[in-house]
Amino acid sequence: MLRVVSGLVFAFLMLPLLVLFPISFSSGTYLRFPPPGFSLKWYVRYFGDTAWIDATYRSLQIGAATTVLALLLGILLAFGLVRGRFRGRSLIENGISAPIIVPHIVLSIAIYGLFSRLGLIGEWYGVAIAHTVLALPFVVIVLLAGLRDFDVNLELAARGLGAGRLAAVRTVTLPILAPSVYSAAFLAFITSFDELVVAMFIAGANMTLPKKMFDNILSEIEPTVAAVSAIQIVLVSALLVLGTRLRRPATPTNALTR
């Protein structure tokens, strides 16, 4: 019984995603099912159109920048919260989730207001910084969990064996934290790459991919968006598979020195 219900739910979750694939290969212009014929023209349309490729590139660029920035700030914050002994730690830890609770639309227009006075509308790095605010809570949550799981004695042992503070973190702590760091990086990138509401206002004329897709959906139900979506789903699936591979225990390295 449980299996039946769960099976139905899984079908519910997956069905919409699967549906996009046949549509993306449709030779018809309008959303029609079943598709009249097989065609790759929507994929061609996507790859051949500068506007689409520009938007894609911009989203990748912003995503990469967001990931780097969010990871950097997040790692520092996580270390500070876990290793520090100052007051206000729990306040900061609870407060870091605030961007998740605030509706994106509110934050979006708030930042839009600020950025238009600063002339940052349309700049890719402006979007990246705004996305960092959105990604930071996820990064911090994942890293906090990883750091708390980490046995501090390993770092102490490294220092007792002659490693300076930074060297100990670099050679022992970070390698062991690697899975958490990868998860956090993945989360940060996805948060930025898929983000629409903030980008809608702040990216201005230099659109991100989600914004372009959104406009496209509103103006005409044209299956190019289906092609783009299908590509995205494939990429995410690939990343998920890669992720599970990475989680398997690494083989020991043989080098005795770095």
Partner 1 sequence: MTLSSAASAPPLRAAEARRSSAFPLGALALTWPALLLLLLLFVLPLARLFALSFEGGNLEWYEKALTGGLYTTILLRTFEIAAIVTLCCLLIGYPVAFLLATTTPAWRALGFAFVMLPLWTSVLVRTYAWMVLLGRNGIINRLLIDSGLLEQPLPMLNSKMAVILGMVHVMLPFMILPIYSALTRIDPDLPKAARGLGASTPRIVMTIYLPLTLRGIVAGVTLVFVVSLGFYITPALLGGGKVLMFAMVIEQQVREFLAWNFAGALSVILLAVTLLAFTVLNQGVARHLGD
Partner 2 sequence: MSEPRAPQAVAQAGRLDIEGVSKTFGEVTALADVSLGVSAGEFVTILGPSGSGKTTLLKVIAGFETADVGRIRVDGADVTDLDPALRNIGMVFQNYALFPHMSVARNVAYPLAMRGMAKREIANRVAEALDMVELGSMAERLPKQLSGGQQQRVALARATVFQPRLLLLDEPFGALDRKLREQMQLEVRRLQRRLGLTTLFITHDQEEALVMSDRVAVMDKGCVQQVGPPHDIYEAPANPFIADFIGESNILAGTVDTPSDGVLRVRLESGRTIQVASRPDVPARIGQRVRVMVRPERFVDLAVGGAAAGINRIDGVVAESAYIGVSDKLRITTPEGLEILIRLPSGPSSRRYGSGEPISAGFHAADARLIEAE
Residues in touch with partner 2 (CB under 8 A): 151, 153-154, 156-164, 167-168, 171-172, 175-176, 249-250, 252-258
Which residues, 6+ apart, have CB-to-CB distance to 164 below 8 Å? none
The least CB distance from residue 163 to partner 2, in Å, is 5
**CB 126, min distance to partner 1, A:** 10
Query: DSSP class of residue 247?
Result: T
Tallying the residues shown for the chain, one arrives at 258
Q: Which is nearer to partner 1, 40 or 167 (CB)?
A: 167
Whichever of 4 and 166 has its CB closer to partner 2, that residue is 166
Closest to partner 2 by CB, 104 vs 159, is 159
Q: How far is the CB of 131 from partner 1 (least distance, A)?
A: 10
252 binds, among partner 1, partner 2, none (CB under 5 to 8 A by kind): partner 2
> Among residues 154 and 239, whose Cβ is nearest to partner 1?
239
172 contacts: CB under 8 Å, gap ≥ 6: 154, 155, 158, 163
Task: Please name which of 195, 213, 217 lies closest in space to residue 111, comparing C-alpha atoms.
Answer: 195
> Residue 95: CB partners within 8 Å, gap ≥ 6?
none
**Among partner 1, partner 2, none, what binds residue 258 when CB lies within 5 to 8 Å by partner kind?**
partner 2
Crossing angle of helices 124-149/104-118, nearest 10°? Answer: 130
Structure tokens of 200?
A: 């809608």
| Whole-angstrom distance, CA of residue 175 vs CA of residue 185 | 15
Locate 36 and state its tokens.
Answer: 């009249």
Give whichever of 88 and 162 is closer to partner 2, judged by the CB atom. 162
Cα angle value 77/82/85 (rounded, 5°): 105
Q: Which is nearer to partner 2, 53 or 156 (CB)?
A: 156
CB of 212 to partner 2, least distance (A): 42
Q: Residues 215, 221, 222, 224: is their CA dihedral positive or negative?
A: positive
Query: Is residue 72 a contact partner of residue 140, using CB atoms and an 8 Å limit?
Result: no
From the list partner 2, partner 1, none, which binds 135 (C-beta under 5 to 8 Å, kind-based)? none
The interface partner of residue 16, options being partner 2, partner 1, none and the CB cut-off 5 to 8 Å by kind, is partner 1
* Least gap, CB of 227 to partner 1 (angstroms): 11
| Radius of gyration of the chain, Cα coordinates, nearest whole angstrom | 22
Which among partner 1, partner 2, none contacts residue 254 (Cβ within 5 to 8 A by kind)? partner 2
User: In angstroms, what is the minimal distance from the CB of 249 to partner 2?
Assistant: 7
